[in-house]
């Protein structure tokens, strides 16, 4: 029988800087009341200058590994889901791999906008269930504040920064990731996009002048799409797991707009209390929103071992999807997985590898045949 993929560790990072609606109302023509009524958001967190998508991801990852009692070197795979990567390449996941010293892991980024964490969870779970790997790290990390047009009141009120990470591990014990539904409709790609900086519109004075490096969104259309797919994907994933909506302890939706979550709850005929909502404090942290909401549910005692839940998300692409999970927890006994000095050693290791590469370059470079 194929093994099961359990979520055995979790960690989140939220920048300290709080940006309130009141502060935004001094930047654009909006009010605290409008933002609260239309979105449910009261405040969001903004990354400091020295925080990046990778640095938030690293912090969340180390916390998750500590909960799982797993050492970074025991990881086989790292997936970073993000729409605000450090660069087009190298992958943010490779930077995270180096920073945490995951010396035996493959690493790549996954881009499915706000649905990315759902996609990444399913991919990691499939790799574990196939028997090809044992331990995976899935991270959703965003610094969308860097791509927000702070003069555009239709988008700048929505987004916030943050990261959440899960460790997934193989076990013969039934449970963990039970089912997944992944969907896309690229015909709606223009409804939510960051048009420039890629191969279609490489960076130029013109793209900068036109503000094409900022998030562009048709809010009304995204809203209509979201209210249609959230309940539908939740039902499909639940049925695929052989469960009924009544069997779910909680639904943990992507935090984009409180009204979208309310509409999904109505459509599923469940009380809103069964949906985890923390959008009031963090805004829309895109692919990080589901792990952050999950971790807060675990830490407040709302999500317990054995509970069955659905994570459901939607976003640019267009993409949407849902995953059914039987919540697990650590499967390894408590042990010191990395000492306090670990991070220093990992940094030294990285510098030494760079130095060796430079020396090799000098030696081999001089012997390189002239073209």
Which residues participate in catalysis according to the annotation? 114, 254, 284
Q: Which of 250, 354, 227 is nearest to 311 (CA)?
A: 250
Residue nearest to ligand UT7 (CB): 219
- Closest CA relative to residue 216, chosen from 153, 287, 155, 145: 155
Spell out, one character per residue from 175 to 204, where the chain touches ligand UT7: x when CB under 6 A holds, - when not. -----------------x------------
Does position 153 bind ligand UT7 by CB under 6 A? yes
Applying CB under 6 A, the span of 46-54, 89-97, 152-160, 291-299 interacting with ligand UT7 comes to: 152-160
Indicate the burial class of 300 (C-beta count within 10 angstroms; 0-12, 13-18, 19 or more): exposed
Beta strands in the chain (DSSP E): 4-13, 17-20, 43-46, 77-81, 106-110, 135-142, 162-171, 176-184, 192-193, 216-217, 250-253, 308-315, 319-326
- The answer to whether residue 140 forms part of the interface with ligand UT7 (CB under 6 A) is no
Residue 223 binding ligand UT7, by CB under 6 A: yes
From 17, 220, 244, 354, residue interacting with ligand UT7 (rule: CB under 6 A): 220
256 contributes a contact to ligand UT7 by CB under 6 A: yes
Of 36, 35, 43, the C-alpha closest to 15 is 43
Assess 295 for contact with ligand UT7 (CB under 6 A).
Answer: no
Measured distance CA(156)–CA(168) in Å, rounded: 34
Chain position carrying tokens 């302890």: 249
Contacts of 1 (CB under 8 A, 6+ apart): 172
Q: Counting contacts by CB under 6 A, is residue 278 touching ligand UT7?
A: no
Report the C-alpha gap between 117 and 112 in whole angstroms.
8
Asked if 342 interacts with ligand UT7 (CB under 6 A), we say no
Q: Which of 3, 18, 20, 30 binds ligand UT7 (CB under 6 A)?
A: 30
226 binds ligand UT7, rule: CB under 6 A: yes
User: Rule CB under 6 A: is residue 38 a binding residue for ligand UT7?
Assistant: yes
Considering the rule CB under 6 A, would residue 129 count as an interface residue with ligand UT7? Answer: no
Q: Residue 28 CB: number of other CB atoms within 10 A?
A: 15
Chain positions contacting ligand UT7, by CB under 6 A: 30, 34, 38-39, 114, 153-154, 157, 192, 217, 219-220, 222-223, 226, 256-257, 284, 286, 315
């Amino acid at each position: 029988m194929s093994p099961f993929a359990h979520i055995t560790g979790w960690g989140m990072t939220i920048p300290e800087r709080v940006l309130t609606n009141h502060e935004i109302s001094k930047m654009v023509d909006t009010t605290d009341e409008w933002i609260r009524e239309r979105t449910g958001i009261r405040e969001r967190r903004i990354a400091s200058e020295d925080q990046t998508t990778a640095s938030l991801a690293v912090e969340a990852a180390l916390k998750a590994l500590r909960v799982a009692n797993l050492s970074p070197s025991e990881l086989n795979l790292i997936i970073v889901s993000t729409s605000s990567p450090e660069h087009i390449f190298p992958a943010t996941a490779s930077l995270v791999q180096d920073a945490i010293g995951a010396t035996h892991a493959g690493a790549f980024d996954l881009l499915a906008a706000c649905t990315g964490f759902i996609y990444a969870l399913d991919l990691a779970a499939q790799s574990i269930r196939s028997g090809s790997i044992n331990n995976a790290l899935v991270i959703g990390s965003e610094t969308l504040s860097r791509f927000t047009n702070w003069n555009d009141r239709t988008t700048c009120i929505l987004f916030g920064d943050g990261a959440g990470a899960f460790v997934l591990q193989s076990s013969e014990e039934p449970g963990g990731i039970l089912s997944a539904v992944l969907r896309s409709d690229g015909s709606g790609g223009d409804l939510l996009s960051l048009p420039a900086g890629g191969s279609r519109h490489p960076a130029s004075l013109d793209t900068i002048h036109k503000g094409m490096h900022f998030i562009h969104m048709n809010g009304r259309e995204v809203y209509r799409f979201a209210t249609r797919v959230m309940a539908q994907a939740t039902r499909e994933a639940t049925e695929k797991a052989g469960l009924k909506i009544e069997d779910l302890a909680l639904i943990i939706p992507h935090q984009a707009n409180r009204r979208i979550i309310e509409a999904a709850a109505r459509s599923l005929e469940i009380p809103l209390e069964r949906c985890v909502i923390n959008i009031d404090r963090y805004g829309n942290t895109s692919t990080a929103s589901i792990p952050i909401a999950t971790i807060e549910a675990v830490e407040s005692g709302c999500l317990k071992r054995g509970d069955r839940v659905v994570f459901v998300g939607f976003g640019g692409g267009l993409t949407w999807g849902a995953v059914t999970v039987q919540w697990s927890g650590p499967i390894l006994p408590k042990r010191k997985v990395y000492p306090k000095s670990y991070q220093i050693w990992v940094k030294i290791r990285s510098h030494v590898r760079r130095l060796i590469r430079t020396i090799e370059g000098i030696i081999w470079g001089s012997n390189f045949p002239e073209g």
